[in-house]
Amino acid sequence: MTSKSSFLVNLKQNAVRRTWSILLFAITFFFLLPVILMLNFSSLLKYTEEQYLARQMLNSFKDVVAVNPFIMAVTLIFAVIAAIHGFSYLYSRKKTDMYLSVPVTVERRFAVIFINSVLMYVVPYFIFLVITIIIAGTYGVNDAYIIKMAFISFGVNTLFYLAVYAVTTIAVMLTGNLPVSVLGTATLLGYENGVKVLLLSMFSNYFKTYSQYSDEKFLKTWFSPLGIFVSFQNDFALALKDNISVMPAVQKASVHLAVLVIVYMIIAFLLYKARPSESCGKSMSFKKSKKVIKRLIMIPVALVFLLFFESASGGSLGGAIFGLAAGILLCHCVIQAIYEQDLKAVFKDKRSIVYIAVIAGFIFALFRFDITGYDKYIPNENKLVSGTISLDTPFGNRASFYDDEYDNVTGDRYRFDNMNIIDKSLLCDIAYTAAQEIDGYSKGYGSTENPNTITATMKYTLSNGKNVYRNIYFDYKENEELLNRIFADVNFKENYIQLFDNVFQNNTDIFEIKYSNDFITENVDSSINSEFINAYKKDFIDMTFSDVENTLASGYLEMYAVIKNDNAGENSGMDNSINIYYEFPVFDSFENTKAVLQKQGIDINERVSKEDVFSVTVYDYVNNTEPIEITDADQIEEILDAVYARSQVYFSAVNSHYNNDYDVDISIKPEKYNGYYNIGCGFKNGHVPDFIKQN
């Protein structure tokens, strides 16, 4: 009984010492929760139309109690304040001696500070959260699901607070004064993700075949509570937005943070017990940790300097070496000065300079000279299960893609999730071809040195479950046979554009379909949607690369539908309908598509007549002359025969069939389209009229 009373007394005494922190936390939560909610509601009541008011108030309530970014920010700041202020007596020898003179065990003292640090965050947060929910209820906003999300957010935020508190406590135990503790906390919280971002920058900078999709698993955070929590917040907000279960994200983050809290608090307590009292006021508490921490900081700093000076010097090796040396020396000097609190100390521990120069130089060499053969990766056929090739073509990049919830996804993401090419020999041949040619290509697409470059992002799925991503480059003129093999693979074709899956198929009957080549735009009768789409699918499946390599697209199809949003409830904040829109290329080789369109009276190659043209303006980028306006009917007719519409390039297979020396704007007479209409065009290669060249 006496022990329990004494512990409560210790808690009270510690709380009194930390009064200003408790008040700060309480006042902040008061403003972040009930005050902000009432201000938002007041504004909505004043300016929002009545039919939208309930939904907007519900959204505001959700934003305040469940996905409030300000609470995340203050949680981070409060955890740092609580840990540093709670153990701030360790910075003073007098205070430390006073605390040690009190007959309280180390375990109790640590527990008292920890429990008070938890209570000063949890209690005001919980109280003002409940008050906020009650206030919302008085306005008629009492959605049970959002209230549940508010308390889930409260729980995860608390775990984040404890994890950051534990990391900060470790920093305090390793250091001896306030400035170094703050620097140590920032280093511990940001080191893991900072090193990963640095490495990814080096991958991107040095490897031509590096793909950003390689980042996904590499960027997963294991040790930093800040990285884990940011990832959770993104997943949590996205799940709420899409009206799907948040529990997978909650469980994953909660378990991860809880494990870190336990592990880090054990480490912090062990350091607390071992921390020598004479370390007060010093930069570092433990002599043995100095070199380890310094060298772990010096390596990434040296590489950052290397990248900066290499880039500033135009990629020169000399600039890189200078940056490496400068980074090592500067970082060593600064840390030594901080450690010893003496500028003369910068000349100590010269061995670290040598060690870091060797380690950082080796890392640099791995990337700069591709010692591991990263850019020439070819998967082992025996370990390869399947693959995806997201080919970079104009019509492929122009396409739209939707997931099962009709949210937009990128073409690469759609293909990686759906395309599984099982022809291993094809996949290995692609990799081999790209590896053989990689030295001949500069970074980028379609450079002047390599005008026939075609690019793709590859995903190789291996038998161990690992996915390997690479950007590849090769000459499509020299590898036409390989591209024909790619186009002949049914799995590639059926997943290259979203034409064959259920998301598209479910809306076939309600699509409004138009054909356009910019010169004409014609509607297709909706009664033949099924027949027309089936004809187009057959043409697309039969299309070879050779069919489309040397020709522009004749035009394109627009398919538009408005569908009901099944996820939109009365107060969900979501629109009741969803617009989906697709654009697909039409090539002259698409015989079945052309036949159906001809039945509709549509000629895919139809152009406007010269009688419909008001004027033509030609912009000459070769001679950089003034624009030429042409109104002569015969000259207009010659121009119409020599031009292509810009949209034809956007829907072609490769980007090499156009002349970029001129822009041609064709202005159509108002009576043709009941209003002003302008068609952006260019001249076909070798078809620039002589009178244009002469002018």
pLDDT profile of the chain (695 residues), mean per 10:
65 90 96 96 90 89 94 97 95 84 87 96 98 95 93 97 98 94 96 94 94 81 94 90 86 97 98 91 90 96 97 95 96 92 80 96 96 95 96 94 89 96 97 90 59 91 94 92 97 97 92 94 94 97 95 95 71 67 97 96 92 92 86 94 91 79 91 77 88 82
CA gap 190, 659 in Å, rounded: 50
Tell how strand 521-524 and strand 384-391 pair up.
Answer: unpaired
CA gap 695, 692 in Å, rounded: 5
Cβ atoms 182, 79 nearer than 8 A: no
Which residue is listed with tokens 């108030």? 57
Cα dihedral 268→269→271→276 (10° resolution): 130
CA gap 423, 434 in Å, rounded: 17
Cβ atoms 584, 393 nearer than 8 A: no
Q: Name the amino acid, one letter, at 248.
A: P
Which is nearest to 64 in space by CA: 92, 87, 30, 110? 30
Residue range 209-238, pLDDT digits in tens: 999 888 777 778 999 999 999 999 999 998
How many C-beta atoms lie closer than 10 Å to residue 85's C-beta?
19
545, burial (CB in 10 Å: exposed 0-12, middle 13-18, buried 19+) = buried
Which is nearest to 445 in space by CA: 475, 422, 404? 475
For 655, which DSSP code? S
Which is nearest to 117 in space by CA: 259, 21, 251, 230? 21
Extended beta strands in 463-576, E state = 467-475, 512-516, 521-524, 555-564
Angle at 233 between CA 232 and CA 234, to 5 degrees: 90
Q: Which residues contact 280 (CB under 8 A, 6 or more apart)?
A: 90, 91, 92, 93, 96, 176
How many C-beta atoms lie closer than 10 Å to residue 437's C-beta?
17
For 347, which DSSP code? G
Which is nearest to 555 in space by CA: 512, 497, 594? 594
Cβ atoms 83, 271 nearer than 8 A: no
Cβ atoms 65, 239 nearer than 8 A: no
For 525, which DSSP code? P
Residue range 146-193, pLDDT digits in tens: 999 999 999 999 999 999 999 999 999 999 999 999 999 999 999 999
Extended beta strands in 436-576, E state = 453-462, 467-475, 512-516, 521-524, 555-564
CA gap 32, 65 in Å, rounded: 9
Cβ atoms 318, 310 nearer than 8 A: no
Which is nearest to 272 in space by CA: 108, 106, 116? 106
Cβ atoms 426, 435 nearer than 8 A: no
For 465, which DSSP code? S
CA gap 385, 459 in Å, rounded: 11
Distances (CA, A) of 335 to 173, 198, 360: 18, 20, 17
3-class state of residue 334 by DSSP: helix
- Which two three-digit tokens encode residue 617? 């303006």
Task: Give the DSSP letter string of 77-128.
Answer: HHHHHHHHHHTGGGG-HHHHHHHHHSS--HHHHHHHHHHHHHHHHHHHHHHH
Distances (CA, A) of 507 to 195, 312, 497, 646, 670: 47, 53, 16, 29, 35
pLDDT of residue 577: 79
CA gap 295, 46 in Å, rounded: 59
Query: Could you give the count of Cα atoms lying within 13 Å of 522 in the half-sphere of its Cβ?
Result: 18
Cβ atoms 364, 324 nearer than 8 A: yes
pLDDT of residue 571: 47
CA gap 109, 107 in Å, rounded: 6
Q: pTM of the prediction? A: 0.85
> What number of helices (H) and strands (E) belong to the chain?
28, 12
402-407 own/partner pairs: CB under 8 Å, 24+ apart: 402/498, 402/503, 402/580, 403/503, 404/503, 405/242, 405/244, 405/567, 406/503, 406/563, 406/565, 406/578, 406/580, 407/242
